[in-house]
Structure formats: structure tokens, C-alpha cells
Structure 1
């Protein structure tokens, strides 16, 4: 699964129609070049690939500027990628980061159910790593590797538990809630602040 693919589909969906520069500008304003390794080249590659695959429809109403719109197939692919990214822990953080950026696209109850599955998987990974730490005899230094896995899974489980609690308490306008940015084409009024300055 590609985090860039999920992000590009999500931004096009959010605006209803969007051109490549707007998509890239939004992603860079979120710092996605750092946490998802998104680059201008990867954005335009994703747009071409998604258009060729029938997930996006391109419009050339303005000379020199192509705008993109989700097809029905694109909507289905977007929701599949979003659900998978929330439900299944991955070694890389960019998939979860992309899912969190698009979280309001899902109804609250569905997001919570997916996160509960994620929590179960993380707790199982934590327990497995703990058992490996306890069982390992030789070479002893490999305990540090299993200990790292246990620590990471435990921390991720704690964070996931907290997000579930926040969502259940009504945090964030989710799909179907008043004022939610999760409805297709609802982003026209959003104004994303510039990403905080970073040391070059």
C-alpha cells in the first residue's frame, strides 16, 4: 500500500476537483515530505498512475492546468486504503499518518471499530515480543531487538487506546457530523496553515 496514493486520493476527494500543485502544496504544508517521504515527483507519478488505472478522471478545462476528480472506482479504492491503514499496524509510520490526515472521511463508529482491531493486533505483537524476550537464551544481545519491538507495540497500543477514547467522547467532526471535512468536496472552505519552519 502506498501512503502517497492514499493521500492523493484523499485530497482530490476532499476538494472534489484539484490540480497537482494544490495537492502538493497541501501535502508539503502538512510536512508529508518528512513523515511520508512525499515529493513532487511522487505526487505527479501517483496522479498519472491513478488516472491510468481509472481511479481519477482528468479535466483540462484550463489550458496548461489539469484538474483531477475521483471516479466511483477511486472512491472505493480510497476507502479501502483508509480502512486498511487504520486497521493494520505497519512497520512504517507513513500509512498511519496518511490515515490520520483523512480520518474524518469515516463515520465515528466505523473508525472506532477499525482502531479496536488495530489495538488487538498491537497488543498481540506486544505480547509476542515479550515472550521472545523471556525465552531468548543465545545470543543474549538480541533481547534488545525484541525489547524494542515490545516497547514500540506497547506505546502504539497506548496511543491507539487514547484515540479510541477521544473519538468515543466526541472529538473531531467525523463523517455524518455537522461541519465534518469528511464529505467529498467539502474542503473548499479549509485553510491549512503553513507547516512550522524547519532547519535545512
Structure 2
């Protein structure tokens, strides 16, 4: 799954129609080049690819500038929803995907966002339990410093759970304007 793909679908969806330059400017204003590794060329590649896949359609073309505006199709809306939900729910997604999901989280109804984050917490808790059960069972001959990986994974998991629970609490308290409001 690509953070660029999710961000482009989300922006075109939110704007109604958009061309590559407008998408680029919006993503630059969000700092997405830093946290999602979005590149100028990847925007145009993704637009053309998603048009081929039927996720986007050309809405109009400015003959003077050559700019093509795109709109999200029904298949594009389904893809956007799938990617957005996966980015919030799946704990082991790449960090750029989570960041893209957070940037677009308000596109979801409040209850859906909370439910997805609760699934994330449940998955993280399960992984933490599995990690704890196997942490003391390193194969004989494993270098001692390799055990530091388990400490890192436990700490990262605990932090992810604490962060997700905090966001669930903030959303439950009415933070942010969500899609159903």
C-alpha cells in the first residue's frame, strides 16, 4: 500500500477535482514530502496509474495549460476507504501510511475511526503478549545484544498502545470534526 496513493485519493476526493500541481502544493503545505516521502514525479505517476485502474477519471482538461483535473470514481472511493481504514487499523503498516491515515482520518465517521483504532490496540496487545511469551526463549548461541530487539519491540508496542488509546479518548471526547458531523 502506498501513502502517496492514499493521500492523492484523499485530496482529489476532498477537493472534488484536482490536478497534479494543486495536489503537489497541498501536500507540500502539509510537509508530506518529509513524513510520507511524496515526490513530484510520484504524484503524476500515481494519477496516471489510478486513471488506468479506473480509480480516477479525467474531469476536464485546460487546453491552454495542458492541466488535467481528476475526480474520484466509485472504485476510487472504495480504494480510498480501504486504504484509509487499513492505515489506521493495521499496527504493522509503515509509518508513512499511518501518517497519511492520520492526515485523512477526519474523512471517516467518528465511530468508525474509534473502532479502527480499537482494533489497532487489540492487535498490538496480542503482539505484545506473543512477544512477552517468546522474549525469554532466544535460541542457544544468540548474541546477548540481540535481546535488545525484544526490548525495543516491547517499548514500541507499549508506546503505540498508549498513543492509540489517547487518540481514542480524544475522539470519544469530540476532538476534531469528523465526516458524519
Counterparts of 1:92-103 in structure 2, within 5 Å, are 92-103=94-105
Q: 2: distance between equivalents of 1:154 and 1:103?
A: 22
Name segments (4+ residues, structure 1) moved above 3 Å.
Answer: none
Structure 1's unaligned 5+ residue stretches are 178-200
- 8 Å CA contact retained: 1:56, 1:74: yes
Matched, 1:159 2:131: no
Q: Which moved more, 1:12-21 or 1:136-145?
A: 136-145
Q: Which residue of 2 aligns with 1:16?
A: 16
Q: Check whether the contact 2:87–2:93 (CA below 8 A) recurs between aligned residues.
A: no
**Residues matched between the structures, number:** 177
Q: In 2, distance between residues paired with 1:173 and 1:114?
A: 17
**CA 1:138–1:124: 2 relative to 1, 3 Å:** farther
What per-residue deviation string (whole Å, max 9, x for no partner) do you get for residues 1-58 of structure 1?
1111100000000000011011111112211111111100111111000001000011
The 5-angstrom pairing of residues 42-121 of structure 1 reads 42-63=42-63, 64-121=66-123
Q: Alpha-carbon deviation of 1:91?
A: 4.8
Native 8 Å contact 2:131 2:150 kept in 1 = yes
Instruction: Give the aligned partner of residue 179 of structure 2.
Output: 175
Q: What is the alpha-carbon distance in structure 2 between the residues aligned to residue 59 and residue 75 of structure 1? A: 15
For residues 83-138 of structure 1, what are the alpha-carbon distances to aligned partners after superposition, in whole Å with 9 as ceiling and x for unaligned?
Answer: 11111112520111010111011110111011100011111222222333333364
Q: CA RMSD in A?
A: 1.3
3-state SS of paired residue (1:51): helix
Give the TM-score normalised by structure 2: 0.93
CA distance in 2, matches of 1:49, 1:19: 14
CA deviations on 1:46-89 (whole Å, 9 max, x unpaired) are: 10000010000113331211101001111111001111111111
**1:30 and 2:34 matched:** no
Where relative contact order (Cα < 8 A, 6+ residues apart) is larger, the structure is 1
